[in-house]
Amino acid sequence: MTTFVSRLPLLLAVTCIVGVLSGCGYNTIPTLDEQAKARWSDVQNQYQRRADLIPNLVATVQGYAKQEKDVLTSVVEARAKATQVKVDASQLSDPEKLKQFQDAQNQLTGALGRLLAVVENYPDLKSNANFLALQSQLEGTENRIGVSRRDYIDAVRAYNTEIRTFPGIIWAKTVFGSKPMAEFAANESAQTPPQVKF
C-alpha cells in the first residue's frame, strides 16, 4: 500500500501530461483542413471568373481582328481545356491532379498573353471602351488569382506543417488519416524574365 501511495503523485503527473498532450492539436487539423479547402474554393472561383470573361474578350477582339483566327481559336481551346480539368477538395492531396489543373490554367494564361500581344496591331481595338473594360477586369482577375493562390499556399503550408509536427502528427496518423495537400508550383516560364521590346 505504501508503494502505491508513494507512486500516486507520479501516476497523476504522468496522467495529466498525457491528457494535456493528447488534447493538444485535436481540433487544429480539421480546422486547418477546412481553411485550406476554403482557400481552394477561392482559387477555383477566380479561375471561373476568368473563364467567364474570356468569351466576351474573344468576341470583342474578333470583331476587329478577323484575320487573327489562330490566336482566337487557341484562346477558346485553352479555355475549354482549363474548364474541363476540375480538382475538388477531396483531391487536394493528389499532386498529379493539381499539376494537371495548373498546367491547363498555365496554357490559358499563355494563350491570353498571345491574344493581348496581337491586340497591339489594332489601335482602334485598344481604344475601344468595351475592350478596355474587359482588359481591366481580366487584369483584376489575374491579380485576384495570384492572391487566392497565395492564400491557398499559406493555408496548405499551415495544414501540412501541423500534420507533420508533434503533437499533430499523432492525430494525423491515428485518428484522421491525414495526407499532405499539394501546393502550386511555379511553372518553368516563371523562371525566365519577360522580354521587353520597343
What is the per-residue pLDDT across 150-180, written as a single tens digit (0 to 9) for each? 999 999 999 999 999 988 888 888 888 899 9
What's the CA gap between 86 and 98, in Å, rounded? 9
pLDDT at 196: 37
Residue 177 φ/ψ region, left for φ over 0, alpha for ψ in the -120 to 50 degree band, beta for the rest: left
pLDDT band, residue 17 (cuts 50/70/90): low
* Residue pLDDT, tens place only, 65-85: 777 888 888 999 999 999 999
Q: Model-level pTM?
A: 0.76
85-110: b or e for each residue (b if 16 or more CB lie within 10 Å)? bebeeebbeeeebbeebbebbbbbbe
pLDDT at 195: 47
